[in-house]
Structure 1
Amino acid sequence: MTDYAKKARETDGKLRKKGGTVTLRRIVLGDDDPDTGKPEQTITDFAAAGVKFGYVAERIDGKLIQSGDQELLLSPLQLTGQPLPEPSTGDLVLINGARFAIHNVAKLEPTDVVILYTLQLRGN
């Protein structure tokens, strides 16, 4: 029987070695602020390891994948070792001062343990 939690830790180790720190930013909107009339925001950042790549030209179709989109292999674990919350298209990714919107999320999850997230990022 495969130990998928161990596989997730191994993936995390490889991404830490080959990649860098990535911030997953989750913004949750609350009630409207009576002074501004705009919803209050709660921002939570999660630090994890990841490796970012540009898409090869053959994969850029101008619709699903646009010129400038990036692919991010993201650890399922935070740098603290705790599980990373599952990224969603409402979240942002911060890498070296650049901010990206998540356009698509895929996960490698053979059981109920995520081993790797693959994100399609678009400049924001």
Structure 2
Amino acid sequence: MSVVHDVWRATKELLEATALPWPSEDREERLQMVDRLLRERQELLWKLRPPYSEEEQRLGREIIAWNQEIEKRLHQVRDEIRGDLRVAGAKRQANARYVHPYEQPLSFDGMFYDKKR
């Protein structure tokens, strides 16, 4: 079996591993699996050498199409994680204000300075 077939197989596994949705409970183990598959595929990509047969070129075009879908899915997961971190930070900040209400800097809204002498 050629290296192109191995890359195709690894890309197909990666496409299946990135299938949406990603529940937050399973996110950590799925990220580890995706990371492992990306590393495995990178090792295979370094071994690719031309010339390629017609079948290998067809597989290459399929790999490129899958890569675009994988990238789109991973961007969605990244955005979900960013949103979760933003919500967690807001909750932590609100909790800190509730527990220690007088440790926050005072607000000076509504102050007026008279410039007349």
TM bin, normalised by shorter chain, reads: under 0.3
Asked which structure has the greater RCO (Cα within 8 Å, sep 6+), the reply is: 2
TM-score, normalised relative to structure 1:
0.21
Which structure shows the bigger proportion of residues in helix conformation?
Answer: 2
Task: Please tell me whether Structure 1 or Structure 2 has the larger radius of gyration of its CA atoms.
Answer: 2
